[in-house]
Copies of this chain bind each other. A is one copy, B any other.
Amino acid sequence: MAGTRTVRSTETREAIMAAAERLYAEHGLVAVSNRQISEAAGQGNVAAVGYHFGTRADLVRAIMGKHSEAIERIRQRILDETRGSREVRDWVACLVRPAPEHLATLGLPSWYARFAVQVMTDPLLRAIVTDEALTREPLRETLHGLGRCLDALPAEVRAERGDMARQLITHTCAERERALAEGTSTRQPSWDDTAGALTDAITGLLLAPVTPRSPAKEVRTNP
């Protein structure tokens, strides 16, 4: 009996996560209520989300965590072939490839890439999800390896280009996912080619020469 209850509870959690991912991806995080998610997940009890997950942030973390586990397993495999390399492009591939490779396994339509856009556009949730992602060993090792190849870049340029790389990966995957779901034309024939296009582009972006900026306009006088 306890076993059956656990199975049922796991199934309920899965159904809620799937419904939430789809609804959040389609309508945004703010527009979707826990009640709508419970109903879309076929739960008679409209408080099911709260009972199984707690807050909305907890639910988002659970969905991201599930994908993140699969993505980090892929990254570990690519990392095992990359260790020892000092080529920037190899380390960029470690950063880029896992998400599109994971998306290729999800079938049609998938919602994860568009869900991730919504999460990454919410400053608070992005901070929570990013902090959690950085506890994953394969991602940490990747960022460390990439950082070693880029130590000639000023720290603030590395940070801003890291932001840009994240934006490119997130939004390019989401645009491709939407085109696939809607049956419109995609830029590349496969997720593998999308990963290749992103890897080339982000390598160029990270290695671009840095033009000196204009001096700051507000000059503070020394005390």
Known A31-B27, A167-B168, A208-B201; contact A184-B214, beta-carbon cutoff 8 A: no
**Size of interface on A: residues with Cβ below 8 Å to B:** 50
The answer to whether A38 has its CB under 8 Å from any CB of chain B is no
Query: How many copies of this chain does the complex contain?
Result: 2
Contact of A156 among B167, B187, B214 (CB under 8 A): B187
Residues of B close to A175: CB separation below 8 A: 163, 167
List the one stretch of A52-60, A65-73, A132-140, A191-199 in contact with chain B.
Answer: A191-199
Contact of A28 among B28, B188, B214 (CB under 8 A): B28
Which chain B residue has the least Cβ–Cβ distance from A114? B121
The answer to whether A189 has its CB under 8 Å from any CB of chain B is yes
Which residues of A line the B interface, CB within 8 A?
27-28, 30-31, 89, 117, 121, 123, 156-157, 159-161, 163-164, 167-168, 171-172, 175, 178, 182, 184, 187-190, 192-193, 196-211, 213-214, 216-218
Alpha-carbon distance between A31 and B23 when the two chains are bound, in angstroms: 13
Residues of B close to A168: CB separation below 8 A: 164, 167-168
Residues of B close to A201: CB separation below 8 A: 160-161, 164, 205, 208
Residues of B close to A202: CB separation below 8 A: 205
CB distance from A124 to the nearest CB of B (A): 10
CB distance from A188 to the nearest CB of B (A): 7
CB–CB B209/A160 < 8 A:
no
Known A31-B27, A172-B167, A203-B208; contact A182-B123, beta-carbon cutoff 8 A: yes
- 23 residue pairs of the A-B complex, CB under 8 angstroms, read A27-B28, A27-B31, A28-B31, A89-B211, A156-B187, A159-B187, A160-B188, A163-B172, A163-B175, A167-B167, A167-B168, A168-B168, A171-B171, A189-B217, A190-B217, A196-B211, A196-B213, A200-B208, A201-B205, A204-B204, A204-B209, A205-B208, A207-B208
